[in-house]
């Protein structure tokens, strides 16, 4: 089993719309690759693949529940950096565990 549960999960990247301010895009001075995003409103963007069902972020690599990685990990947007802050050490919150449940994965220990 991987030390970091996220490396064998990826459920959140295939459950929620990942929305953030367009100022985070690399062509607007941020670091998130704009080519992997879609415009939502005049000021908001989302990761491509997360705007409509079936949700799967365009940057997600691998098989959910087995072995996954983020192709833009160093440059991922703020919601990804903030989501499931303690999941990496085995503690899931409600949104993390709900995503896991939707993909048939057991919950992490509650915080
Ligand atoms: S934060 Fe939770 S749902 Fe997201 S990859 Fe980690 S364990 Fe899975
Ligand atoms: S950018 Fe990376 S961490 Fe964020 S939803 Fe996509 S695959 Fe997951």
Ramachandran bin of 85, using left for φ above 0, alpha for ψ from -120 to 50, beta for the remaining angles: alpha
> What contacts 41, CB < 8 A, 6 or more positions away?
none
Nearest CA to ligand 2 atom 7: 60
How many independent structural domains does the chain possess? Answer: 1
Domain assignment present for residue 14? The answer is yes
Domain assignment present for residue 40? The answer is no
pLDDT in tens, 100-109: 999 999 999 8
Give φ, ψ of 109 to 5 degrees: -55, 135
Ligand 2 centre and the CA of 110: distance in Å?
A: 22
Expressed as residue numbers, the domain containing 102 is 5-18+50-106
pLDDT at 94: 96
pLDDT band, residue 3 (cuts 50/70/90): confident
Domain assignment present for residue 101? The answer is yes
Domain assignment present for residue 56? The answer is yes
Ligand 1 centre and the CA of 9: distance in Å?
A: 6
- Rounded CA-CA distance 11/51 in Å is 15
69 near 80, Cβ under 8 Å?
no
Domain assignment present for residue 43? The answer is no
Domain assignment present for residue 10? The answer is yes
């Amino acid at each position: 089993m991987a030390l970091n549960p996220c490396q064998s999960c990826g459920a959140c990247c295939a459950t929620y719309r990942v929305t953030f301010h367009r100022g985070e895009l690399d062509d607007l001075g941020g670091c998130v690759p704009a080519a992997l995003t879609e415009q939502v409103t005049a000021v908001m963007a989302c990761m491509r693949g997360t705007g409509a069902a079936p949700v799967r972020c365009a940057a997600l690599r691998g098989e959910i529940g087995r072995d996954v990685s983020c192709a833009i990990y160093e440059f991922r947007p703020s919601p990804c950096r903030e989501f499931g802050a303690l999941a990496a050490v085995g503690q899931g919150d409600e949104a993390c565990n709900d995503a896991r449940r939707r993909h048939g994965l057991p919950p992490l220990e509650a915080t």
